[in-house]
Structure 1
Amino acid sequence: MFSANSNRIYYFVASEIMLISIFLKDFAMQEIVPNYHPLRYKDLPFSTSPVEEWKQLVSNFSQQAHPSAVIWNTIKFLEHESLTQIHNHLQVLVFAVGPLHKIKTSSYVSSHQEDTSCITWLDKQPPKSVVYISFGSLATMDRKVLTEMAWGLAKSNQRFLWAVRPGLVCGSEWLELLPEGFVEETRERGLIVKWAPQKDVLAHFAVGGFWSHCGWNSCLESISSGVVMICQPFIVDQMVNARYVSYVWKIGLELE
Protein backbone atom coordinates (compact mmCIF):
# COMPACT_ATOMS: atom_id res chain seq x y z
CA MET A 1 0.00 0.00 0.00
CA PHE A 2 1.22 3.51 -0.80
CA SER A 3 1.31 6.32 1.73
CA ALA A 4 -1.29 9.06 1.83
CA ASN A 5 1.33 11.49 0.54
CA SER A 6 2.10 9.46 -2.56
CA ASN A 7 -1.55 8.80 -3.32
CA ARG A 8 -2.35 12.47 -2.85
CA ILE A 9 0.04 13.17 -5.70
CA TYR A 10 -1.83 10.83 -8.02
CA TYR A 11 -5.11 12.60 -7.28
CA PHE A 12 -3.98 16.21 -7.45
CA VAL A 13 -1.08 16.66 -9.85
CA ALA A 14 -1.29 13.98 -12.54
CA SER A 15 -3.03 16.21 -15.06
CA GLU A 16 -0.76 19.19 -14.28
CA ILE A 17 2.58 17.49 -14.78
CA MET A 18 2.01 14.81 -17.39
CA LEU A 19 3.30 17.09 -20.16
CA ILE A 20 5.95 19.24 -18.50
CA SER A 21 7.74 16.57 -16.45
CA ILE A 22 8.93 14.73 -19.55
CA PHE A 23 10.73 17.78 -20.95
CA LEU A 24 12.34 19.22 -17.84
CA LYS A 25 16.11 19.30 -17.89
CA ASP A 26 18.17 17.84 -15.07
CA PHE A 27 18.61 21.13 -13.22
CA ALA A 28 14.88 21.84 -13.33
CA MET A 29 14.07 18.46 -11.80
CA GLN A 30 15.41 19.84 -8.52
CA GLU A 31 12.84 22.66 -8.49
CA ILE A 32 9.87 22.54 -6.10
CA VAL A 33 6.56 21.73 -7.78
CA PRO A 34 4.32 24.82 -7.44
CA ASN A 35 1.70 24.35 -4.69
CA TYR A 36 3.13 20.97 -3.71
CA HIS A 37 5.96 21.83 -1.35
CA PRO A 38 8.22 20.04 -0.42
CA LEU A 39 8.11 17.83 -3.52
CA ARG A 40 10.52 18.46 -6.36
CA TYR A 41 9.76 17.45 -9.92
CA LYS A 42 12.21 14.56 -9.51
CA ASP A 43 10.13 13.21 -6.61
CA LEU A 44 6.92 12.81 -8.59
CA PRO A 45 5.70 9.27 -9.36
CA PHE A 46 6.19 8.25 -13.00
CA SER A 47 8.08 11.49 -13.71
CA THR A 48 10.03 9.77 -16.49
CA SER A 49 7.12 7.88 -18.05
CA PRO A 50 5.81 8.64 -21.55
CA VAL A 51 2.93 11.09 -21.83
CA GLU A 52 0.65 8.28 -23.03
CA GLU A 53 1.09 6.45 -19.72
CA TRP A 54 0.19 9.60 -17.79
CA LYS A 55 -2.96 10.06 -19.87
CA GLN A 56 -3.99 6.47 -19.19
CA LEU A 57 -3.33 6.89 -15.47
CA VAL A 58 -5.49 10.01 -15.29
CA SER A 59 -8.20 8.25 -17.30
CA ASN A 60 -8.19 5.27 -14.93
CA PHE A 61 -8.60 7.51 -11.89
CA SER A 62 -11.40 9.51 -13.48
CA GLN A 63 -13.36 6.32 -14.18
CA GLN A 64 -13.24 5.10 -10.60
CA ALA A 65 -16.50 5.14 -8.65
CA HIS A 66 -16.59 7.84 -5.97
CA PRO A 67 -15.61 6.15 -2.70
CA SER A 68 -17.70 6.10 0.45
CA ALA A 69 -14.55 6.23 2.53
CA VAL A 70 -10.78 5.95 2.14
CA ILE A 71 -8.56 3.67 4.26
CA TRP A 72 -4.77 4.17 4.37
CA ASN A 73 -2.06 2.03 5.89
CA THR A 74 -0.48 5.03 7.59
CA ILE A 75 -0.17 6.86 10.92
CA LYS A 76 -2.42 9.87 11.45
CA PHE A 77 0.09 12.15 13.15
CA LEU A 78 2.67 11.31 10.47
CA GLU A 79 0.54 12.37 7.51
CA HIS A 80 -2.14 14.57 9.05
CA GLU A 81 -1.85 17.32 6.43
CA SER A 82 -2.13 14.95 3.46
CA LEU A 83 -5.00 13.01 5.01
CA THR A 84 -6.83 16.29 5.59
CA GLN A 85 -6.33 17.34 1.98
CA ILE A 86 -7.66 14.00 0.73
CA HIS A 87 -10.70 14.38 2.97
CA ASN A 88 -11.33 17.91 1.71
CA HIS A 89 -10.94 16.85 -1.91
CA LEU A 90 -13.11 13.75 -1.83
CA GLN A 91 -15.51 14.84 0.92
CA VAL A 92 -15.54 11.38 2.50
CA LEU A 93 -14.27 9.89 5.73
CA VAL A 94 -10.55 9.07 5.73
CA PHE A 95 -9.20 6.44 8.11
CA ALA A 96 -5.54 5.96 9.04
CA VAL A 97 -5.32 2.34 10.24
CA GLY A 98 -1.57 1.72 10.14
CA PRO A 99 0.95 0.52 10.71
CA LEU A 100 -0.74 -2.73 9.72
CA HIS A 101 2.41 -4.81 10.13
CA LYS A 102 2.07 -4.23 13.89
CA ILE A 103 -1.38 -5.77 14.12
CA LYS A 104 -1.71 -8.42 11.41
CA THR A 105 -1.32 -12.00 12.62
CA SER A 106 0.34 -13.54 9.55
CA SER A 107 3.71 -12.80 8.02
CA TYR A 108 4.11 -10.95 4.74
CA VAL A 109 3.75 -13.45 1.92
CA SER A 110 6.80 -13.38 -0.32
CA SER A 111 8.22 -15.65 -2.99
CA HIS A 112 11.62 -15.29 -1.28
CA GLN A 113 12.66 -17.63 1.51
CA GLU A 114 13.68 -15.75 4.66
CA ASP A 115 17.13 -16.57 6.02
CA THR A 116 16.53 -16.45 9.77
CA SER A 117 20.16 -17.30 10.55
CA CYS A 118 20.90 -13.59 10.27
CA ILE A 119 19.11 -13.04 13.60
CA THR A 120 21.63 -15.30 15.31
CA TRP A 121 24.41 -13.27 13.68
CA LEU A 122 22.82 -10.01 14.86
CA ASP A 123 22.64 -11.36 18.41
CA LYS A 124 26.46 -11.30 18.48
CA GLN A 125 26.79 -7.66 17.36
CA PRO A 126 26.97 -4.55 19.60
CA PRO A 127 23.82 -2.43 20.02
CA LYS A 128 23.00 -0.06 17.15
CA SER A 129 26.15 -1.07 15.28
CA VAL A 130 24.74 -2.69 12.12
CA VAL A 131 23.39 -1.10 8.96
CA TYR A 132 20.69 -3.25 7.37
CA ILE A 133 20.51 -2.98 3.58
CA SER A 134 17.58 -4.14 1.48
CA PHE A 135 15.85 -2.79 -1.63
CA GLY A 136 12.69 -4.86 -1.52
CA SER A 137 11.37 -7.56 -3.79
CA LEU A 138 11.02 -5.62 -7.06
CA ALA A 139 13.76 -3.02 -7.46
CA THR A 140 16.64 -3.68 -9.85
CA MET A 141 19.91 -1.79 -10.15
CA ASP A 142 22.81 -1.37 -12.52
CA ARG A 143 25.89 -3.50 -11.98
CA LYS A 144 27.98 -0.35 -11.45
CA VAL A 145 25.72 0.75 -8.60
CA LEU A 146 26.08 -2.63 -6.90
CA THR A 147 29.86 -2.43 -7.27
CA GLU A 148 30.04 1.09 -5.81
CA MET A 149 27.87 0.03 -2.88
CA ALA A 150 30.20 -2.87 -2.19
CA TRP A 151 33.31 -0.69 -2.33
CA GLY A 152 31.67 1.84 -0.02
CA LEU A 153 30.84 -0.85 2.53
CA ALA A 154 34.34 -2.33 2.27
CA LYS A 155 36.04 1.00 2.89
CA SER A 156 33.65 2.17 5.61
CA ASN A 157 34.62 -0.52 8.13
CA GLN A 158 30.93 -0.52 9.04
CA ARG A 159 29.10 -3.61 10.25
CA PHE A 160 26.32 -4.52 7.83
CA LEU A 161 23.62 -7.03 7.02
CA TRP A 162 22.95 -6.95 3.26
CA ALA A 163 19.99 -8.67 1.62
CA VAL A 164 21.17 -9.21 -1.95
CA ARG A 165 18.16 -10.66 -3.73
CA PRO A 166 18.90 -12.95 -6.70
CA GLY A 167 18.12 -10.83 -9.74
CA LEU A 168 18.79 -7.53 -7.95
CA VAL A 169 21.00 -6.86 -10.95
CA CYS A 170 19.16 -8.12 -14.02
CA GLY A 171 20.51 -11.49 -15.11
CA SER A 172 22.56 -12.11 -11.96
CA GLU A 173 22.34 -15.37 -10.04
CA TRP A 174 23.44 -13.92 -6.71
CA LEU A 175 26.90 -12.69 -5.64
CA GLU A 176 28.92 -13.24 -8.79
CA LEU A 177 28.86 -9.52 -9.67
CA LEU A 178 30.36 -8.34 -6.38
CA PRO A 179 33.99 -7.17 -6.57
CA GLU A 180 36.56 -9.92 -6.24
CA GLY A 181 37.57 -10.42 -2.61
CA PHE A 182 34.70 -8.36 -1.19
CA VAL A 183 33.07 -11.22 0.71
CA GLU A 184 36.36 -12.35 2.22
CA GLU A 185 37.41 -8.82 3.16
CA THR A 186 34.16 -8.03 4.98
CA ARG A 187 33.46 -11.47 6.45
CA GLU A 188 34.32 -10.41 10.03
CA ARG A 189 31.87 -7.49 10.11
CA GLY A 190 29.32 -8.19 7.42
CA LEU A 191 26.75 -10.79 6.44
CA ILE A 192 25.06 -11.24 3.06
CA VAL A 193 21.79 -13.15 2.74
CA LYS A 194 19.34 -13.61 -0.11
CA TRP A 195 16.35 -12.45 1.93
CA ALA A 196 15.95 -11.39 5.56
CA PRO A 197 13.00 -11.39 7.99
CA GLN A 198 12.85 -7.61 7.77
CA LYS A 199 10.46 -6.82 10.61
CA ASP A 200 12.55 -8.88 13.03
CA VAL A 201 15.78 -7.38 11.71
CA LEU A 202 14.59 -3.78 12.11
CA ALA A 203 13.34 -4.52 15.62
CA HIS A 204 16.68 -6.04 16.65
CA PHE A 205 18.84 -4.17 19.18
CA ALA A 206 21.95 -4.46 16.97
CA VAL A 207 20.45 -2.57 14.00
CA GLY A 208 21.07 1.18 13.98
CA GLY A 209 20.30 2.12 10.39
CA PHE A 210 18.34 0.98 7.33
CA TRP A 211 19.62 1.57 3.77
CA SER A 212 16.36 1.25 1.88
CA HIS A 213 14.51 1.77 -1.40
CA CYS A 214 11.79 3.51 0.65
CA GLY A 215 8.85 1.36 -0.28
CA TRP A 216 6.02 2.40 2.02
CA ASN A 217 5.91 -0.86 3.98
CA SER A 218 9.65 -0.61 4.60
CA CYS A 219 9.29 3.00 5.72
CA LEU A 220 6.56 2.11 8.21
CA GLU A 221 8.55 -0.83 9.57
CA SER A 222 11.64 1.33 10.03
CA ILE A 223 9.74 4.23 11.60
CA SER A 224 7.90 1.88 13.98
CA SER A 225 11.20 0.40 15.13
CA GLY A 226 12.90 3.77 15.57
CA VAL A 227 15.57 3.05 12.95
CA VAL A 228 16.96 5.94 10.91
CA MET A 229 17.15 5.50 7.15
CA ILE A 230 19.46 5.95 4.18
CA CYS A 231 17.09 6.54 1.27
CA GLN A 232 17.82 5.24 -2.22
CA PRO A 233 14.48 5.29 -4.08
CA PHE A 234 13.98 3.65 -7.46
CA ILE A 235 10.41 3.87 -8.77
CA VAL A 236 6.83 5.14 -8.30
CA ASP A 237 6.00 6.22 -4.72
CA GLN A 238 9.50 5.62 -3.38
CA MET A 239 10.75 9.08 -4.39
CA VAL A 240 7.86 10.75 -2.56
CA ASN A 241 8.45 8.61 0.52
CA ALA A 242 12.19 9.33 0.49
CA ARG A 243 11.55 13.07 0.27
CA TYR A 244 9.29 13.01 3.31
CA VAL A 245 11.62 10.75 5.29
CA SER A 246 14.65 12.96 4.64
CA TYR A 247 13.24 16.48 4.29
CA VAL A 248 9.99 16.62 6.27
CA TRP A 249 10.21 14.00 9.01
CA LYS A 250 14.02 14.29 9.13
CA ILE A 251 14.57 10.67 10.10
CA GLY A 252 16.84 9.78 7.21
CA LEU A 253 19.28 10.91 4.56
CA GLU A 254 18.56 10.68 0.84
CA LEU A 255 21.33 9.56 -1.49
CA GLU A 256 21.47 11.87 -4.49
Structure 2
Amino acid sequence: MMKVTDFIFKIESPELQALQLQRFRSLLSHNSTEVMVEVRATFTNAVISSSSIIVNSMKFLEQEALSRVKKFIPAPIFTLGPLHKLAPRIRDSLLTKEDKCISWLNKKAPESIIYVSFGSLASIDKEELIEAAWGLASSERPFLWVVRPGMVRSSEWIELLPNGFQESVGQRACIVQWAPQKEVLAHAAVGGFWSHCGWNSSMESICEGLPMLCKPFFGDQLLNTSYICNVWKIGLELHELQRGNVERRIKRLMVDMKGMAIRKRAMDLKKDVALCLMKDDSTSCFLNDLTNYLSFSSV
Protein backbone atom coordinates (compact mmCIF):
# COMPACT_ATOMS: atom_id res chain seq x y z
CA MET A 1 0.00 0.00 0.00
CA MET A 2 1.25 3.48 -0.83
CA LYS A 3 1.97 5.70 2.14
CA VAL A 4 0.46 9.17 2.39
CA THR A 5 3.98 10.59 2.76
CA ASP A 6 4.82 9.33 -0.74
CA PHE A 7 2.88 12.35 -2.02
CA ILE A 8 5.30 14.76 -0.36
CA PHE A 9 7.99 14.83 -3.00
CA LYS A 10 10.85 17.13 -3.88
CA ILE A 11 9.61 20.70 -3.72
CA GLU A 12 10.63 22.95 -6.58
CA SER A 13 7.89 25.53 -7.06
CA PRO A 14 7.44 28.63 -4.85
CA GLU A 15 3.79 27.71 -4.27
CA LEU A 16 4.58 24.27 -2.90
CA GLN A 17 7.47 25.63 -0.86
CA ALA A 18 5.03 28.07 0.75
CA LEU A 19 2.85 25.16 1.82
CA GLN A 20 5.62 23.94 4.14
CA LEU A 21 4.93 20.33 3.23
CA GLN A 22 7.89 19.01 5.19
CA ARG A 23 6.43 20.61 8.33
CA PHE A 24 3.06 19.10 7.48
CA ARG A 25 4.63 15.66 7.09
CA SER A 26 6.27 15.93 10.52
CA LEU A 27 2.94 16.95 12.04
CA LEU A 28 1.26 13.93 10.45
CA SER A 29 3.86 11.56 11.82
CA HIS A 30 4.08 13.14 15.28
CA ASN A 31 2.36 10.87 17.83
CA SER A 32 0.40 9.14 15.06
CA THR A 33 -1.59 6.17 16.29
CA GLU A 34 -1.60 2.91 14.39
CA VAL A 35 -5.27 3.44 13.60
CA MET A 36 -4.66 6.89 12.06
CA VAL A 37 -1.75 5.60 9.97
CA GLU A 38 -4.01 2.84 8.65
CA VAL A 39 -6.84 5.30 7.91
CA ARG A 40 -4.50 7.57 5.94
CA ALA A 41 -3.08 4.66 3.97
CA THR A 42 -6.56 3.31 3.20
CA PHE A 43 -7.76 6.73 2.06
CA THR A 44 -4.69 7.27 -0.10
CA ASN A 45 -5.07 3.94 -1.84
CA ALA A 46 -8.79 4.50 -2.34
CA VAL A 47 -7.97 7.75 -4.14
CA ILE A 48 -5.31 6.09 -6.29
CA SER A 49 -7.65 3.27 -7.33
CA SER A 50 -10.59 5.56 -8.16
CA SER A 51 -11.86 5.76 -11.73
CA SER A 52 -12.33 9.53 -11.35
CA ILE A 53 -12.01 12.13 -8.61
CA ILE A 54 -14.28 15.10 -7.89
CA VAL A 55 -12.69 17.89 -5.85
CA ASN A 56 -14.54 20.72 -4.12
CA SER A 57 -12.09 23.36 -5.29
CA MET A 58 -11.29 25.64 -8.20
CA LYS A 59 -8.42 25.21 -10.58
CA PHE A 60 -6.98 28.68 -10.03
CA LEU A 61 -6.72 28.05 -6.27
CA GLU A 62 -4.56 24.93 -6.43
CA GLN A 63 -3.24 24.76 -9.98
CA GLU A 64 0.36 23.87 -9.09
CA ALA A 65 -0.56 21.24 -6.50
CA LEU A 66 -3.14 19.65 -8.80
CA SER A 67 -0.62 19.37 -11.61
CA ARG A 68 1.76 17.50 -9.26
CA VAL A 69 -0.93 15.23 -7.85
CA LYS A 70 -1.92 14.17 -11.36
CA LYS A 71 1.54 12.63 -11.75
CA PHE A 72 0.67 10.16 -8.98
CA ILE A 73 -2.98 9.49 -9.83
CA PRO A 74 -3.99 8.07 -13.22
CA ALA A 75 -7.69 8.94 -12.81
CA PRO A 76 -9.00 12.28 -14.16
CA ILE A 77 -9.53 15.00 -11.55
CA PHE A 78 -12.53 17.32 -11.86
CA THR A 79 -12.47 20.55 -9.82
CA LEU A 80 -16.17 21.29 -9.39
CA GLY A 81 -16.10 23.87 -6.65
CA PRO A 82 -17.38 25.72 -4.92
CA LEU A 83 -20.05 23.07 -4.36
CA HIS A 84 -22.03 25.20 -1.92
CA LYS A 85 -22.57 27.73 -4.73
CA LEU A 86 -23.52 25.04 -7.25
CA ALA A 87 -25.94 23.29 -4.86
CA PRO A 88 -26.86 25.94 -2.26
CA ARG A 89 -29.91 24.16 -0.87
CA ILE A 90 -28.08 21.09 0.39
CA ARG A 91 -28.23 20.80 4.20
CA ASP A 92 -24.71 21.51 5.42
CA SER A 93 -24.95 20.86 9.16
CA LEU A 94 -26.33 18.33 11.61
CA LEU A 95 -26.67 21.06 14.24
CA THR A 96 -29.68 23.35 14.67
CA LYS A 97 -28.95 26.88 13.52
CA GLU A 98 -29.96 30.04 15.36
CA ASP A 99 -31.28 32.66 12.96
CA LYS A 100 -31.52 35.36 15.63
CA CYS A 101 -27.93 36.31 14.84
CA ILE A 102 -29.02 37.55 11.40
CA SER A 103 -31.33 40.17 12.92
CA TRP A 104 -28.43 41.18 15.19
CA LEU A 105 -26.12 41.51 12.17
CA ASN A 106 -28.70 43.62 10.36
CA LYS A 107 -28.17 46.37 12.94
CA LYS A 108 -24.38 46.50 12.56
CA ALA A 109 -22.16 48.63 10.33
CA PRO A 110 -20.74 47.17 7.10
CA GLU A 111 -17.63 44.97 7.54
CA SER A 112 -17.51 45.67 11.28
CA ILE A 113 -18.10 42.15 12.63
CA ILE A 114 -15.65 39.33 13.11
CA TYR A 115 -17.41 35.98 12.92
CA VAL A 116 -15.89 33.26 15.13
CA SER A 117 -16.56 29.56 14.64
CA PHE A 118 -14.36 26.52 15.26
CA GLY A 119 -16.53 24.11 13.28
CA SER A 120 -18.53 21.12 14.47
CA LEU A 121 -15.77 18.91 15.92
CA ALA A 122 -12.94 20.92 17.47
CA SER A 123 -12.79 21.27 21.24
CA ILE A 124 -10.88 23.58 23.58
CA ASP A 125 -10.32 23.64 27.32
CA LYS A 126 -11.58 26.17 29.86
CA GLU A 127 -8.35 28.19 29.89
CA GLU A 128 -8.41 28.55 26.09
CA LEU A 129 -12.05 29.68 26.23
CA ILE A 130 -11.17 32.35 28.78
CA GLU A 131 -8.20 33.59 26.73
CA ALA A 132 -10.30 33.71 23.54
CA ALA A 133 -13.08 35.56 25.36
CA TRP A 134 -10.86 38.28 26.82
CA GLY A 135 -8.97 38.61 23.54
CA LEU A 136 -12.24 39.26 21.73
CA ALA A 137 -13.31 41.73 24.41
CA SER A 138 -10.00 43.62 24.31
CA SER A 139 -10.06 43.88 20.50
CA GLU A 140 -12.99 46.30 20.86
CA ARG A 141 -14.50 44.81 17.70
CA PRO A 142 -18.10 43.58 17.62
CA PHE A 143 -18.24 39.82 17.16
CA LEU A 144 -20.55 36.90 16.48
CA TRP A 145 -19.25 33.83 18.33
CA VAL A 146 -20.44 30.26 17.85
CA VAL A 147 -19.93 28.35 21.09
CA ARG A 148 -21.24 24.83 20.61
CA PRO A 149 -22.55 22.84 23.58
CA GLY A 150 -19.59 20.62 24.46
CA MET A 151 -17.08 22.69 22.49
CA VAL A 152 -15.40 23.35 25.80
CA ARG A 153 -14.64 20.06 27.48
CA SER A 154 -17.05 19.21 30.33
CA SER A 155 -19.34 22.15 29.60
CA GLU A 156 -23.05 22.52 28.86
CA TRP A 157 -22.69 25.77 26.90
CA ILE A 158 -21.34 29.17 28.05
CA GLU A 159 -21.34 28.69 31.82
CA LEU A 160 -17.52 28.64 31.78
CA LEU A 161 -17.18 32.12 30.27
CA PRO A 162 -15.23 34.34 32.70
CA ASN A 163 -17.07 36.45 35.25
CA GLY A 164 -17.78 39.93 33.95
CA PHE A 165 -17.14 39.03 30.31
CA GLN A 166 -20.70 39.31 29.01
CA GLU A 167 -21.25 42.53 30.92
CA SER A 168 -18.06 44.02 29.46
CA VAL A 169 -18.99 43.30 25.83
CA GLY A 170 -22.74 43.98 26.08
CA GLN A 171 -24.46 44.44 22.73
CA ARG A 172 -21.10 44.31 20.97
CA ALA A 173 -21.30 40.52 21.13
CA CYS A 174 -23.74 37.88 19.95
CA ILE A 175 -23.06 34.36 21.23
CA VAL A 176 -25.01 31.47 19.72
CA GLN A 177 -24.90 27.67 19.81
CA TRP A 178 -24.79 27.45 16.00
CA ALA A 179 -25.25 29.83 13.06
CA PRO A 180 -26.35 29.72 9.41
CA GLN A 181 -22.73 30.09 8.33
CA LYS A 182 -23.12 30.67 4.61
CA GLU A 183 -25.67 33.40 5.27
CA VAL A 184 -23.48 34.92 7.98
CA LEU A 185 -20.36 35.00 5.79
CA ALA A 186 -22.32 36.63 2.97
CA HIS A 187 -23.74 39.33 5.26
CA ALA A 188 -22.56 42.88 4.59
CA ALA A 189 -21.81 43.47 8.29
CA VAL A 190 -19.21 40.68 8.47
CA GLY A 191 -15.66 41.78 7.74
CA GLY A 192 -13.57 38.83 8.91
CA PHE A 193 -13.72 35.16 9.87
CA TRP A 194 -11.86 33.51 12.78
CA SER A 195 -11.97 29.88 11.72
CA HIS A 196 -10.61 26.40 12.41
CA CYS A 197 -9.94 26.34 8.63
CA GLY A 198 -11.82 23.23 7.66
CA TRP A 199 -11.99 23.04 3.87
CA ASN A 200 -15.71 23.82 3.56
CA SER A 201 -15.43 26.84 5.84
CA SER A 202 -12.35 28.04 3.95
CA MET A 203 -14.13 27.77 0.60
CA GLU A 204 -17.20 29.57 1.93
CA SER A 205 -15.03 32.38 3.27
CA ILE A 206 -13.05 32.75 0.02
CA CYS A 207 -16.28 33.00 -1.96
CA GLU A 208 -17.37 35.97 0.17
CA GLY A 209 -14.02 37.76 0.05
CA LEU A 210 -13.35 37.60 3.78
CA PRO A 211 -9.90 37.75 5.38
CA MET A 212 -9.33 34.96 7.88
CA LEU A 213 -7.84 34.50 11.32
CA CYS A 214 -6.66 30.89 11.32
CA LYS A 215 -6.54 28.58 14.35
CA PRO A 216 -6.29 25.03 12.99
CA PHE A 217 -6.76 22.07 15.34
CA PHE A 218 -6.09 18.85 13.43
CA GLY A 219 -6.02 17.06 10.08
CA ASP A 220 -6.32 19.02 6.85
CA GLN A 221 -6.91 22.24 8.80
CA LEU A 222 -3.14 22.59 9.18
CA LEU A 223 -2.47 22.39 5.45
CA ASN A 224 -5.46 24.61 4.67
CA THR A 225 -3.98 27.24 6.99
CA SER A 226 -0.71 27.13 5.04
CA TYR A 227 -2.66 27.79 1.85
CA ILE A 228 -4.63 30.65 3.40
CA CYS A 229 -1.69 32.40 5.06
CA ASN A 230 1.31 31.55 2.87
CA VAL A 231 0.01 30.90 -0.66
CA TRP A 232 -3.18 32.90 -1.07
CA LYS A 233 -2.10 35.35 1.67
CA ILE A 234 -5.63 36.15 2.78
CA GLY A 235 -5.23 35.33 6.46
CA LEU A 236 -3.17 35.43 9.63
CA GLU A 237 -2.33 32.36 11.69
CA LEU A 238 -3.10 32.41 15.40
CA HIS A 239 -0.45 30.16 16.96
CA GLU A 240 -1.56 30.42 20.58
CA LEU A 241 -4.92 31.11 22.20
CA GLN A 242 -3.53 33.85 24.42
CA ARG A 243 -5.61 37.00 24.96
CA GLY A 244 -2.95 39.52 23.93
CA ASN A 245 -2.17 37.57 20.79
CA VAL A 246 -5.88 37.26 19.95
CA GLU A 247 -6.40 41.00 20.42
CA ARG A 248 -3.45 41.98 18.22
CA ARG A 249 -4.34 39.56 15.43
CA ILE A 250 -7.97 40.67 15.30
CA LYS A 251 -7.02 44.34 15.13
CA ARG A 252 -4.45 43.71 12.41
CA LEU A 253 -6.87 41.64 10.36
CA MET A 254 -9.88 43.94 10.69
CA VAL A 255 -8.67 47.53 10.95
CA ASP A 256 -4.90 48.09 10.82
CA MET A 257 -3.15 49.37 7.72
CA LYS A 258 -0.90 46.28 7.90
CA GLY A 259 -3.91 44.12 7.21
CA MET A 260 -5.13 46.14 4.24
CA ALA A 261 -3.24 43.99 1.71
CA ILE A 262 -4.77 40.85 3.21
CA ARG A 263 -8.27 42.28 2.96
CA LYS A 264 -7.66 43.39 -0.64
CA ARG A 265 -6.38 39.96 -1.70
CA ALA A 266 -9.43 38.33 -0.14
CA MET A 267 -11.70 40.55 -2.24
CA ASP A 268 -9.62 39.79 -5.35
CA LEU A 269 -10.14 36.06 -4.79
CA LYS A 270 -13.88 36.66 -4.51
CA LYS A 271 -13.80 38.21 -7.98
CA ASP A 272 -11.84 35.22 -9.30
CA VAL A 273 -14.48 32.87 -7.87
CA ALA A 274 -17.23 34.83 -9.62
CA LEU A 275 -15.38 34.48 -12.93
CA CYS A 276 -14.88 30.77 -12.28
CA LEU A 277 -18.63 30.28 -11.87
CA MET A 278 -19.53 32.10 -15.08
CA LYS A 279 -20.77 30.12 -18.05
CA ASP A 280 -17.96 28.66 -20.16
CA ASP A 281 -15.40 29.19 -17.41
CA SER A 282 -13.49 26.51 -15.50
CA THR A 283 -16.20 25.07 -13.22
CA SER A 284 -18.73 24.80 -16.05
CA CYS A 285 -16.10 23.27 -18.31
CA PHE A 286 -15.15 20.67 -15.72
CA LEU A 287 -18.83 19.88 -15.13
CA ASN A 288 -19.30 19.29 -18.85
CA ASP A 289 -16.13 17.19 -18.94
CA LEU A 290 -17.39 15.09 -16.02
CA THR A 291 -20.75 14.56 -17.71
CA ASN A 292 -19.06 13.47 -20.92
CA TYR A 293 -16.68 11.21 -19.01
CA LEU A 294 -19.52 9.50 -17.15
CA SER A 295 -21.53 9.08 -20.33
CA PHE A 296 -18.56 7.56 -22.13
CA SER A 297 -17.70 5.30 -19.18
CA SER A 298 -21.23 3.89 -19.02
CA VAL A 299 -21.22 2.84 -22.67
User: Is TM more than 0.5 here?
Assistant: yes
Q: How does 1:172-251 map to 2 (within 5 A)?
A: 172-251=155-234
> Which consecutive unaligned segments of at least 5 residues does structure 1 have?
1-10, 18-32
Query: Does the residue aligned with 2:28 lie in a helix, a strand or coil?
Result: coil
Aligned length: 231
Using the size of structure 1 for normalisation, the TM-score is 0.83
Q: How does 1:23-172 map to 2 (within 5 A)?
A: 35=11, 37=17, 38-39=19-20, 41-44=22-25, 46-50=28-32, 52-53=34-35, 55-57=37-39, 59-61=41-43, 64=46, 66-172=49-155
Q: CA RMSD in A?
A: 2.2
Using the size of structure 2 for normalisation, the TM-score is 0.71
Q: Deviations over 1:11-55 (max 9, x none)?
A: 7752599xxxxxxxxxxxxxxx96362325543463434352454
For 2:131 and 2:102, how far apart are their aligned partners in 1?
26
Q: 1:132 touches 1:210 (CA, 8 Å); kept in 2?
A: yes
Which deviates more, 104-113 or 179-188? 104-113
For 1:103 and 1:196, how far apart are their aligned partners in 2?
21
Q: AA paired with 1:71?
A: I
Higher relative contact order (CA 8 A, sep 6+): 1
Q: Deviations over 1:128-167 (max 9, x none)?
A: 0000000000000121111101011111111100011111
Q: 2:114 touches 2:143 (CA, 8 Å); kept in 1?
A: yes
Q: 1:129 touches 1:159 (CA, 8 Å); kept in 2?
A: yes
Q: AA paired with 1:52?
A: E
Q: Counterpart in 2 of 1:4?
A: none
Q: Deviations over 1:87-106 (max 9, x none)?
A: 22112211100000011142
* CA displacement at 1:236 relative to structure 2: 0.3
For 2:104 and 2:97, how far apart are their aligned partners in 1?
14
* CA displacement at 1:70 relative to structure 2: 1.3
Q: More helix per residue: 1 or 2?
A: 2
Q: Counterpart in 2 of 1:255?
A: 238
* CA displacement at 1:109 relative to structure 2: 4.0
> Which consecutive unaligned segments of at least 5 residues does structure 2 have?
240-299
Change (3 A) 1:246 1:145: same
For 2:126 and 2:23, how far apart are their aligned partners in 1?
23
